[in-house]
Structure 1
Amino acid sequence: MNENAKPDLNPNESGFGLIEIMVSMFLIAMLAVAFLPLLINGLRTTVTNATIATASQLVNEQLDSARDIPANCTDISAFDDLPVATTTDERGTVYRPHRLVATCATDPALYPTVVKVSSWATKDGETDRLAEAVTLVYLESPAP
């Protein structure tokens, strides 16, 4: 018998390899479809987390700016009146930081004191707050 000769194949089994491949591709496709919602949900969560992280960073920058102002009521009140620039992230989302400084004490006898400064961030044109924080700023006097 010749070693290079091919064994005789049963004519009823011709194409059996192709059917197996098609069935395995179908099963792999079914698994991919089953994991697709999980992948989409993960991507949405990633976008939401990135948005909140950026908004939180903007809020912290506003509060840090308030802490860097000279410790008097006149300067902190002027800080509240300054316009706040919008920020755009690498995905094209536009954020608008907001800040609010509480009213300072008018009686010089009450100084030194603190004043509450609130900050929050929204998407531009929306009112839902993505992140917000409050801090107390130390004031030594009502005026410089």
Structure 2
Amino acid sequence: MNTRKMVINTIIAALYVAMTGIFAFMSFGAIQFRVSEMLNHLVGYNKNYKYGVLAGVFIANLMFSTLGAWDLVFGFGQTLLSFIILEKLFKPDDSEMKRMMMTAVVFTATMVLVAIELYLVLDLPFWFSFVTAAFGEAVVMVVSAPLMKYLNKIINFAEKMA
């Protein structure tokens, strides 16, 4: 990875951490709306953004989560698994909006890992945790899609990472 891509991914990681920290009160637990998850949409523009998002997830969970190592494993694992699935699903001719919707669906479905974590660590009911965590993820991903599309017109995410 060249210096430019490393710097961009460092900025993405810092944004993820900052956004998670600012909204920490609603970024963790069974009912969560992690605003920083909107940055997951970046992989729809270029798969190399995954490094910055993954680093951001790891650092944010390390700094702000009350679940400690559990969140490093399950939260990071949920993001990594989602990116692996999306790399297999994305086709070169997919539209911007199709990629965003696939990203929203995959990240929402993989919240099953967070539900397992909440069940194991906090003894919360699995289905309650899955439904509420998945709902929060879906809301953030769907609501942020138009914003990311708008920002892409200004920034051109694919070109920046090229």
* Both structures adopt the same fold (TM-score exceeding 0.5): no
Q: TM-score, normalised by structure 2?
A: 0.27
Name the structure where helix makes up a greater proportion of residues: 2
Larger RCO (CA under 8 A, 6+ residues apart)? 2
Name the structure where strand makes up a greater proportion of residues: 1
Q: TM-score, normalised by structure 1?
A: 0.30
The structure with the larger Rg is 1
